[in-house]
């Protein structure tokens, strides 16, 4: 006898890479499109963190619950899963080790909830615009036999491995879920969608269905003390506008362009990401939200929005529907809701709230200081500082020298550097290098090389075919530039590569595994100011102490030995996600470690030469791509965030 499964919601994670398989499973399982109707959530997920991330994409903020079983018919003493823990426990909805506890009686088993199955099937058939068709053996759902039991979810959400479904089909009965349970959580009250005030939890469009688009989440109360770095649940939504969808939507979906093959990969280093895309306006809103997640230290949110932004940036067509964005990797129902906001109002409500939040404005102020990351920005905020003057008055002696310089030149460092000025600075560096030792080659990297009209700083990579020429060359170069007053401050200077004789460094030598490659190359991070201006002679005649009116700029000079210079150029040219995914691709697919100082094997840490042969720096860069099995991407196609 075929099995009766409870209502199931299917997570798209990993399955979205194979649309045909995803569609087959959706049809076979008879999934529900609204997670609120589901008793179980299935997916290709292996960890609790991934499960919580996927639920959050659906707008559900959850907290883990721990089951405590009562042993014996008499409902004996409750025991937690870990019998060795000596920590005090509270039972029935209170906490165990910081997690909520629910009590289960191991003697009690409940049948699947089939009371509404007939009406449920009718609604699903109507939604698909047809009467129920004959099902395949996987799709038939007569009433289950005694013993095929499963615990109802109640107020909790159970995320199971997809293997539970396939194994149950093969076994001919509903298997116990314990061995397949990845995560069980209770929805936090503030994020729980209600029937009276529904939230869009799936962008899968059903004909003749009315879907509410959520209004902006409510701001938390700002009474009492405020600190950043403490996570809170999502705010509840307000009643929203209804959108009526018709069967014509299905026809529109069938005419959508196919998702490009390169978007089925999880690595942005395998995709072309241009500087501008057809969905630039929508992307700018997602970037606002991503930045807020960064400033709040929300690691799950950062990963989710980074993946979504990378996918949308690579999509070559203008988005026309929530369904269309829902097809993209990393773009679940949360992104579909944001897109619907964008379509209806021309902006995303959550991004509007972030822009108008005075606390986020302060965090952004601090984050824009050179030398201050998100952690320091939150620390400054939690110190009660709200202005740059607060840092000067109350914390000057406690911040780093880099941060002091960042505060001093705050407004100047925020001024973008036009391409012409970037080129001028690069030419000064290259000319000066060749005056000292002829034969140097240079690539201006960073945003300039990716085609940006202006840059936040200037990154240049220098190398020389004669390996002896780069040994300790940085010392002479900096001395020459300082003598001509181009350098006003040295933020960081490292000679590590020269100190080890420019030998390639294995992990298992003196370098820790986690160390960034740029830190093993000779480099100088500088504050730069052009010493020349049109009225310089006249100004100095009138006032020998006349100040240079030119803007202070940030300039990074990297010196690479020739044998790994291609890796240095690659490592300093791509956007953040491109570089991050390149390293992840090398590790997960090739068993290699990539950074700007070279490529090494994961197993024994030995250096791998990908650049042998004649040619200039650009030829060497292309050899790196080829050696890693990657299709060549022009720098203008590496414009990830």
Q: Are residues 131 and 261 in the same domain?
A: no
**Model confidence at 585: pLDDT above 70:** yes
Q: Are residues 381 and 454 in the same domain?
A: no
The CATH number of the domain holding residue 439 is: 3.30.460.10
Q: How far apart are CA 31 and CA 8, in angstroms?
A: 5
- Choose between 64 and 564: higher pLDDT: 564
Kindly indicate the confidence band of residue 82, based on its pLDDT and cuts at 50, 70 and 90: very low
Kindly indicate the confidence band of residue 104, based on its pLDDT and cuts at 50, 70 and 90: very low
Q: Are residues 42 and 29 in the same domain?
A: yes
In a domain, 310, yes or no: yes
Report percent pLDDT > 70 for the chain.
Answer: 73
The CATH number of the domain holding residue 395 is: 1.10.150.20
State residue 117's pLDDT score: 38
In a domain, 22, yes or no: yes
Which residues span the domain enclosing 364?
Answer: 357-413
Question: At 181, which helix (H) or strand (E)?
Answer: strand 181-187
Do 519 and 496 meet the contact criterion of CB atoms below 8 Å apart? yes
State residue 293's pLDDT score: 95
Q: Are residues 340 and 301 in the same domain?
A: yes
Question: At 68, which helix (H) or strand (E)?
Answer: strand 62-70
Q: Are residues 520 and 630 in the same domain?
A: yes
In a domain, 489, yes or no: yes
* Mean pLDDT, residues 284-293 taken together: 96
Q: Are residues 122 and 222 in the same domain?
A: no
Against a cut of 0.75, is the pTM above it?
Answer: no
- Choose between 46 and 513: higher pLDDT: 46
Coil vs helix vs strand at 226: coil
* Phi, psi for residue 379 in degrees, rounded to 5: -65, -45
State residue 442's pLDDT score: 98
In a domain, 465, yes or no: yes
The predicted-structure confidence for 205-244, as pLDDT tens digits, reads as follows 333 333 333 333 333 333 334 455 544 434 333 443 434 4
Domain boundary among 122, 152, 187: 187
Domain boundary among 413, 438, 454: 413
Q: Are residues 419 and 307 in the same domain?
A: no
Kindly indicate the confidence band of residue 33, based on its pLDDT and cuts at 50, 70 and 90: confident
Closest CA to 144 of 5, 327, 295: 5
* Mean pLDDT, residues 67-90 taken together: 43
**Model confidence at 610: pLDDT above 50:** yes
Coil vs helix vs strand at 261: helix
* Mean pLDDT, residues 594-614 taken together: 91
The predicted-structure confidence for 481-495, as pLDDT tens digits, reads as follows 999 999 999 999 999
In a domain, 599, yes or no: yes
Q: Are residues 307 and 260 in the same domain?
A: yes
* Mean pLDDT, residues 294-313 taken together: 92
**Model confidence at 517: pLDDT above 90:** no
State residue 58's pLDDT score: 81
Cα 227 from chain centre: 24
Q: Which residues pair with 598 in a beta bridge?
A: 595
Kindly indicate the confidence band of residue 292, based on its pLDDT and cuts at 50, 70 and 90: very high
The predicted-structure confidence for 408-440, as pLDDT tens digits, reads as follows 999 999 999 999 999 999 999 999 999 999 999
The CATH number of the domain holding residue 241 is: 1.10.150.110
Residue 372: Cβ within 10 Å count: 21
3-17, 99-113, 125-139: range with highest mean pLDDT? 3-17
State the average pLDDT for the chain: 79
Q: Are residues 235 and 298 in the same domain?
A: yes
Strand (E) positions, 425-581? 441-444, 454-455, 458-463, 487-494, 522-528, 553-559
**Model confidence at 178: pLDDT above 50:** yes
Domain boundary among 187, 220, 249: 187
Q: Are residues 502 and 627 in the same domain?
A: yes
In a domain, 532, yes or no: no
Q: Are residues 31 and 162 in the same domain?
A: yes
Which of 65-79, 179-193, 555-569 shows the lowest per-residue confidence on average (mean pLDDT)?
A: 65-79
**Model confidence at 199: pLDDT above 60:** no
Structural domain count, the chain: 4
Q: Are residues 86 and 165 in the same domain?
A: yes
**Model confidence at 78: pLDDT above 50:** no
State residue 506's pLDDT score: 60
**Model confidence at 556: pLDDT above 90:** yes
In a domain, 203, yes or no: no
């Amino acid at each position: 006898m075929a099995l009766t499964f409870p209502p199931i919601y299917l997570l798209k994670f990993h399955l979205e890479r194979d649309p045909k398989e995803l569609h087959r499973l959706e049809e076979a399982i008879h999934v529900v499109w609204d997670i609120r109707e589901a008793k179980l959530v299935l997916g290709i997920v292996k960890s609790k963190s991934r499960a919580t991330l996927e639920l959050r994409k659906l707008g559900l903020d959850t907290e883990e619950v721990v089951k405590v079983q009562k042993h014996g018919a008499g409902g004996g003493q409750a025991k937690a899963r870990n019998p060795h823990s000596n920590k005090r426990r509270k039972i029935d909805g209170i906490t165990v080790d910081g997690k909520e506890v629910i009590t289960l009686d191991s003697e009690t088993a409940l049948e699947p909830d089939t009371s509404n199955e007939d009406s449920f099937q009718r609604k699903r058939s109507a939604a698909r615009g047809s009467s129920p068709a004959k099902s395949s053996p996987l799709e038939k759902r007569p009433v289950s036999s005694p013993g095929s039991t499963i615990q109802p979810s109640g107020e909790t959400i159970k995320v199971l491995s997809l293997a539970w479904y396939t194994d149950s089909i093969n076994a001919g009965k509903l298997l116990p879920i314990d061995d397949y349970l990845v995560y069980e959580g209770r929805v936090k009250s503030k994020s729980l969608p209600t029937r009276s005030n529904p939230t869009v939890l799936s962008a899968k469009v059903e004909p003749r269905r009315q879907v509410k688009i959520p209004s902006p989440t409510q701001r938390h109360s700002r009474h009492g003390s405020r600190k950043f770095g403490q996570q809170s649940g999502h705010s509840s939504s307000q009643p929203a506008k209804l959108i009526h969808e018709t069967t014509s939507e299905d026809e529109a979906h069938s005419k959508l362009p196919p998702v490009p093959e390169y978007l089925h990969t999880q690595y942005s280093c395998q995709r072309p990401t241009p500087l501008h895309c057809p969905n630039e306006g929508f992307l700018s809103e997602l970037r606002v939200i991503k930045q807020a997640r960064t400033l709040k230290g929300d690691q799950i949110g950062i990963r989710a929005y980074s993946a979504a932004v990378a996918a949308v940036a690579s999509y070559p067509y203008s988005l026309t529907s929530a369904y269309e964005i829902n097809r993209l990797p990393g773009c679940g129902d949360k992104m579909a809701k944001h897109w619907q906001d964008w379509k209806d109002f021309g902006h995303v409500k959550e991004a509007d709230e972030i822009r108008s939040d005075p606390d986020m404005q302060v965090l952004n102020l601090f984050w824009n200081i050179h030398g201050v990351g998100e952690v320091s920005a939150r620390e400054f905020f939690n110190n009660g500082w709200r202005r740059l003057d607060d840092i000067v008055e109350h914390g000057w002696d406690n911040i780093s020298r880099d941060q002091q310089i960042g505060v001093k030149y705050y407004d100047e460092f925020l001024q973008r550097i036009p391409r012409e000025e970037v080129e001028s600075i690069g030419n000064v560096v290259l000319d000066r290098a060749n005056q000292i030792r002829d034969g140097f080659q240079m690539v201006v990297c960073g945003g300039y090389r990716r085609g940006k009209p202006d840059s936040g700083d200037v990154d240049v990579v220098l190398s020389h075919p004669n390996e002896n020429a780069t040994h300790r060359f940085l010392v002479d170069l900096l001395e020459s530039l300082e003598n001509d007053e181009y350098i006003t401050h040295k933020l960081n200077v490292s000679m590590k590569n020269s100190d080890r004789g420019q030998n390639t460094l294995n992990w298992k030598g003196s370098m820790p595994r986690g160390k960034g490659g740029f830190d093993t190359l000779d480099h100088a991070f500088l504050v730069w100011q052009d010493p020349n201006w049109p009225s310089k002679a006249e100004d100095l005649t009138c006032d020998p102490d006349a100040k240079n009116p030119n803007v202070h700029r940030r300039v990074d000079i990297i010196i690479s030995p020739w044998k790994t210079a291609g890796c240095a150029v690659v490592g300093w040219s791509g956007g953040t996600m491109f570089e991050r995914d390149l390293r992840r691709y090398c590790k997960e697919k090739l068993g290699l470690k990539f950074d700007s100082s070279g490529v090494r094997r994961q197993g024994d840490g030995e250096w791998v030469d990908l650049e042998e042969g004649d040619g200039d720096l650009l030829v060497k860069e292309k050899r790196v791509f080829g050696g890693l099995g990657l299709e060549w991407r022009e720098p203008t196609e590496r414009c990830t965030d």
